[in-house]
Amino acid sequence: MAKKTSDKNNAPAQQENDKTIKLESFVADSSGEFMTSNHGLKINDDQNSLKAGDRGATLLEDFILREKITHFDHERIPERVVHARGSAAHGVFKVYEDMSELTRAAFLCDPGVETPVFVRFSTVAGSRGSSDLARDVRGFAVKFYTQEGNFDLVGNNMPVFFIQDAIKFPDLVHAVKPEPDNEMPQAASAHDTFWDFISQLPESAHMIMWAMSDRALPRSYRMMEGFGVHTFRFVNENGVANFVKFHWKPLLGVHSVAWDEAQNISGKDPDFHRRDLWDAIEAGAFPEWELGVQIVPEADEFKFEFDILDPTKLIPEELVPVQRIGKMTLNRNTDNFFAETEQVAFHVGHVVPGIDFTNDPLLQGRLFSYTDTQLIRLGGPNFHEIPINRPVVPVHNNQRDGHMRQTINRGKTSYGPNAIGANDPKQAKAAEGGFVSYNERIDAKKIRARSRSFFDHFSQARLFFNSQSDAEKNHIIDALSFELGKVKAVAIRERMLALLNQIDGALAAEIAFALGIHIPDIPLEELNNSVPADADRSEYASLNPEGSLTKSDALSMAGTIKDTIQTRKVAILAADGVNEQSLSKVKDALIAEGAVVHIIAPKLGQIIAKNDKLITPDESFLTAASVLYDAVYVPGGGNSVATLEAHADAVHFLNEAFKHCKAIAADDEAIQVLESTYFFKKLPAEYSQETVLREGVIVSADVKNLTETFIKMIAMHRFWDRENPRKIPA
């Protein structure tokens, strides 16, 4: 009896144990095992796609590449695997002059044609619910609805990428996404798996410099550059081809926020970029970019110290200037976020006659991946019929049926050639607008390999770092110190220091000091673990030439446009008793220059000015924060000044604005508010115009002079010299 009871009591435990045993058969532990395909085939090379020669096109027969990317594309539904967090708007594009000498693309050959566009901006790593201000690459995808079909220029706000071959893309994203055991951290790269991957992959060195720079923290989508990343081809009517790199140049300049500020914005308004874009368009302050191209004749393909097909390299503008050939204006917000922003489907393979591909191995993989990922994300092969994806020209082909088919096709035939339907739809000759792939000669052996011209991983990373201003260099050092400080494994930190030491010794030394460890002496050939199993590792040891170009001004934001305050947000701090005349004069002058002005008060409702006028505040200190504004002004008025001086949030507002290097202005009689801040004692006792424009703080009794100077200060964006200086060798 006792035994029977015991067996009964143990039954749940036994059942649980049986369940555990059954589940174990589904658990995979790859420790010490060979890599295989999903069907058990041992893989010899997981680092390179199969190409026609080491610089040739990627071959469709590469079943390993297709299996790997197909599985990756289908990993998550329905949210995008990458670029999930996005915002978009409609607009138009017009070319400045006829470009037919370079390309037969019709929308680039007629200055009289206005081409509709739809543009989606996005972060890369985070989910749909993450913050706009994560340190991340930003997607910059443009769909041109041309009269020859849709052309998608699917790029980023950085001109290079982490990897050279598309076969590594699933690995990159797996590494940067939240770690699979605990789903943390969200929308952040400061964790072990990402830096473990990067520390094994020297080819990422250049992109890491960009990702750790201020470019990863844009002030606004409207104030960031866009790049096509890859080298494409322009082909003219005569079949003559030139290589081309695409650029988007914002007319408001290229500006960023501070890292501490970004973290605060994420808490105050995680929709900061989305709101900024929407509000600007609603207010009629339409964002504008110029389309630029770098043209390289085919004869010059091998003239550079780097390979123009390597997606981890850029072409410095000093070597090939950017020609600005047209302008894009975003002038209409979406009507429905899901129907447009979420359902839009971009694809680098959507081209028009006159634009063609190159053998960039990352681009080649993307040509396969985009259609595949839309099939799972949008439910089937008819995603092109969703309104936001439809071309503006009629579609005629023999594709039929499928999930959610909307087109009702008439007639008997859905094949070709056919006699019953007069062989319609017919193929178009090149002279009739038919797309003809560029007639590139390929004569090579099938091989999984990386061209030796792709082996230099550090010279352009060094060029980027050397091109930054002192403040920008400091920010890169701080970012790397923060990110690697979050890494728990000391061995990963050490490997990263060894890689960074190949870029710049002073850079690595600063970060080593912050991490409290020494820079290890690891030979180059041991730093690159991304090599085929049978390869001679010394063959893959990264070359580290100096490069003939030591600095490129275009790579720094220090020289960007700083002559406008259009759409800049300015906070005016006020309370009962404020000097309404000063407030109104400054406010009106700022608005006249295109700024957006908000009055911030201790409470909402109305405040009574010194002259008894009623003023309605836009925000209270409870809902507003300095990180949401570009500059701050404190008008006079005894009672208002006394209230602000005693208000902790008002003083904090000013302290934080100063910390983030923003322009600050105050009437002379508001000096006591500034005296309550931590930074007032840091300011020079005597101020000249030169001092004001260097420090970014003006106090004046002359409202006209204050206003004129304040506007110049806001246009300068930030006063990074306020930050603690760090000596970095040039």
Which positions are catalytic? 83, 156
- Which positions ≥6 away from 63 have C-beta within 8 Å? 37
- Which positions ≥6 away from 586 have C-beta within 8 Å? 572, 633, 635, 665, 703, 706, 707, 710
The rounded distance, in Å, linking the Cα atoms of 289 and 285 is 13
The rounded distance, in Å, linking the Cα atoms of 163 and 169 is 7
Which residues face 155 on adjacent strands? 140
Length of the chain: 730
163, 169 contact by CB (below 8 A): yes
State the distance between the two ends of the chain, measured CA to CA, in whole angstroms. Answer: 86
612, 579 contact by CB (below 8 A): no
What is the residue whose two structure tokens read 């949210």?
A: 79
DSSP states along 586-631:
HHHHHHHTT-EEEEEESSSS-EE-TTS-EE--SEETTT--GGG-SE
The rounded distance, in Å, linking the Cα atoms of 475 and 130 is 23
- Which positions ≥6 away from 22 have C-beta within 8 Å? none
SS3 call for 89: strand
Tokens encoding 227? 């790049």
Element (H, E) at 482: helix 470-485
SS3 call for 88: strand
The closest alpha carbon to 362, from 172, 545, 493, belongs to: 172
The closest alpha carbon to 492, from 149, 193, 60, belongs to: 193
DSSP states along 652-704:
HHHHHHHHTT-EEEEEGGGHHHHHTSSSGGGS-SS--HHHHHHH-EEEES-HH
CA dihedral 608, 610, 611, 615 (to 10 degrees): -30
125, 362 contact by CB (below 8 A): no
The rounded distance, in Å, linking the Cα atoms of 41 and 36 is 5
| 596 phi, psi to nearest 5 deg | -105, 125
Cβ count within 10 A of residue 236: 17
Beta strands in 61-108 (DSSP E): 86-95
Cβ count within 10 A of residue 619: 16
SS3 call for 284: coil
DSSP states along 353-396:
TTEE----HHHHHHHHHHHHHHHHHSSSTTGGGSGGG--SS---
Q: How far is CA 729 from the centre of its chain?
A: 28
Give the angle subtended at the CA of 200 by the CAs of 194 and 206, to the nearest 5°. Answer: 80
Burial of 212 (0-12, 13-18, 19+ CB in 10 A): buried
Which residues face 81 on adjacent strands? none
What is the residue whose two structure tokens read 């091998």?
A: 302
Spell out the alpha helix ranges (H) of 270-337: 272-282, 337
The rounded distance, in Å, linking the Cα atoms of 611 and 640 is 12
The rounded distance, in Å, linking the Cα atoms of 509 and 481 is 11
